[in-house]
Amino acid sequence: HAHGETVLQVDKARKQFGGLVAVNDMTFDVKAGEIMGLIGPNGAGKSTMFNLVTSLLPVTKGEIRFRIGGQLQRIDTLSSREIVKHGIARTFQHVRLMPTMSVLENVAIGAHLRGMHNDFTGIATSIARLNRAEEGALLFEARKQLERVGLGHMLYEEAGSLALGQQRILEIARALCCDPTLLLLDEPAAGLRYKEKEALADLLRKLRGEGMSILLVEHDMDFVMNLTDRLVVMEFGTKIAEGLPQEVQQNEAVLEAYLGG
Ligand code: ADP
Ligand code: MG
């Protein structure tokens, strides 16, 4: 994707759970090669927004488009699997890994599942069907992505023994195995120590430098301030502000949402 052109376009996307409007006619876009922040208090609808973009949940109304073959095309009508193939990969708010398996195996399995059902259901049968060559290709890709994110020296450690910050980076490596052009990260910095947040921010800047577009959900405003190019702020499912981080930080509605929450 050419730098600066729109890659993701969310157009009046709405999601209702019965009477609860979790996402209320949200409109925003993500441009190629930028880190876009999606922030807001707990329960604002951020994770639900990710579930709509990745088709884990159907939209109630509205459209979501992604740049495919040079044109913005609707993806809210596609399956999660198709969306991954078109180049959108994600991580989840809570770490999902197999703690007693190695770092390398965790990423290889993710590469195999293509990020689809990271709860690992049916994984044993699905792996048993792989032949030697397929298994080798998966391990090769997993190793490559682990080296890319700086975990190349930890391939054979038990995933569960890693610090939380490294587990989050492992999950990013797993998402990268889908060969995405847009990466959706759901609160990757939550619970991390200061140094871990720095390492994560450095990695995301490096990926952006390689042309990756990133949509980053965060609860904590401090982390996004020095990292993101633009921000969208949600409260109660609705967009309450949008703009450069410095502008948004001084927005009255945003201050109120955060102080009041
Ligand atoms: P955030 O990620 O910003 O903290 P969520 O998107 O997880 O917020 O949740 C937004 C609102 O939607 C919350 O009130 C939450 O309880 C509700 N919600 C989320 N997922 C579901 C679901 N599958 N069924 C019913 N309500 C849900
Ligand atoms: Mg959430």
Query: For 118-132, what is each residue's pLDDT tens digit?
Result: 445 555 566 666 777
Instruction: Give the residue whose CA is nearest to atom 5 of ligand 1.
Output: 45
pLDDT band at 255 (very low <50, low <70, confident <90, very high): confident
Question: Residue 242 pLDDT more than 50?
Answer: yes
Structural domain boundaries, residue 145 = 101-179
List the single range of 30-34, 110-114, 140-144, 250-254 with lowest mean pLDDT: 110-114
Whether residue 259 sits in one domain with residue 142: no
- The whole-number average pLDDT for the span 9-20 is 97
Question: Residue 61 pLDDT more than 60?
Answer: yes
Q: What's the confidence (pLDDT) of residue 129?
A: 67
Q: What's the confidence (pLDDT) of residue 94?
A: 86
- The whole-number average pLDDT for the span 244-257 is 90
Tell me, in angstroms, the distance from the centre of ligand 1 to residue 43's CA.
Answer: 6
Atom of ligand 1 nearest to the CA of 234: 3
> Per the domain annotation, does 96 fall within a domain?
no
Question: Residue 169 pLDDT more than 60?
Answer: yes
> Per the domain annotation, does 50 fall within a domain?
yes
Q: Which of 20, 39, 49, 232 to mutate to test the pocket of ligand 1 (most atoms within 8 A of CB)?
A: 20
- The whole-number average pLDDT for the span 16-27 is 97
pLDDT band at 111 (very low <50, low <70, confident <90, very high): confident
- Residue written as token pair 């982390």: 223
**Domain tally, the chain:** 2
Whether residue 143 sits in one domain with residue 211: no
Q: Which of 134, 154, 179 is the last residue of a domain?
A: 179
HSE-CB at 245 with a 13 A cutoff on CA atoms is 17
Question: Residue 33 pLDDT more than 70?
Answer: yes
Whether residue 79 sits in one domain with residue 7: yes
Tell me, in angstroms, the distance from the centre of ligand 1 to residue 220's CA.
Answer: 18
Q: Which of 147, 164, 179 is the last residue of a domain?
A: 179
Phi, psi of 234 (to 5 degrees): -115, 145
Ligand nearest to the CA of 44: 1
Average pLDDT taken over every residue of the chain:
91
- The whole-number average pLDDT for the span 139-150 is 96
> Per the domain annotation, does 92 fall within a domain?
no
Question: Residue 117 pLDDT more than 50?
Answer: no
**154: its two tokens:** 């930890």
Pocket residues for ligand 1 (CB within 6 Å)? 17, 20, 22, 40, 42-48
> Per the domain annotation, does 94 fall within a domain?
no
Whether residue 117 sits in one domain with residue 133: yes
Q: What's the confidence (pLDDT) of residue 2?
A: 80
Whether residue 140 sits in one domain with residue 70: no
Question: Residue 249 pLDDT more than 50?
Answer: yes
Question: Residue 18 pLDDT more than 80?
Answer: yes
Secondary structure of 24-50 in HEC code, one letter for each residue: EEEEEEEECCCEEEEECCCCCCHHHHH
Exposed, middle or buried: residue 188 (CB in 10 Å: 0-12, 13-18, 19+)? buried
Whether residue 82 sits in one domain with residue 4: yes
List the single range of 27-36, 60-69, 132-141, 171-180 with lowest mean pLDDT: 132-141
Atom of ligand 1 nearest to the CA of 237: 10
Whether residue 81 sits in one domain with residue 1: yes
- The whole-number average pLDDT for the span 21-48 is 96
Q: CATH number, domain at 81?
A: 3.40.50.300
> Per the domain annotation, does 55 fall within a domain?
yes
> Per the domain annotation, does 95 fall within a domain?
no
Tell me, in angstroms, the distance from the centre of ligand 2 to residue 13's CA.
Answer: 17
Residues 6+ apart with CB under 8 A from 94: none
Q: Which residues of 45-65 are buried (b: 16+ CB within 10 A; e: fewer)?
A: bbbbbbbbbbbbbebeebebb
Atom of ligand 1 nearest to the CA of 217: 2
pTM listed for this prediction: 0.92
Q: Which of 130, 162, 179 is the last residue of a domain?
A: 179
**Between residues 129 and 254, which one has the greater pLDDT?**
254
Ligand nearest to the CA of 92: 2
Whether residue 150 sits in one domain with residue 128: yes
Whether residue 185 sits in one domain with residue 161: no
Whether residue 222 sits in one domain with residue 194: yes
Tell me, in angstroms, the distance from the centre of ligand 1 to residue 48's CA.
Answer: 6
Question: Which pLDDT tens digit goes with each residue over 185-235?
Answer: 999 999 999 999 999 999 999 999 999 999 999 987 889 998 999 999 999
Whether residue 170 sits in one domain with residue 142: yes
Whether residue 188 sits in one domain with residue 233: yes
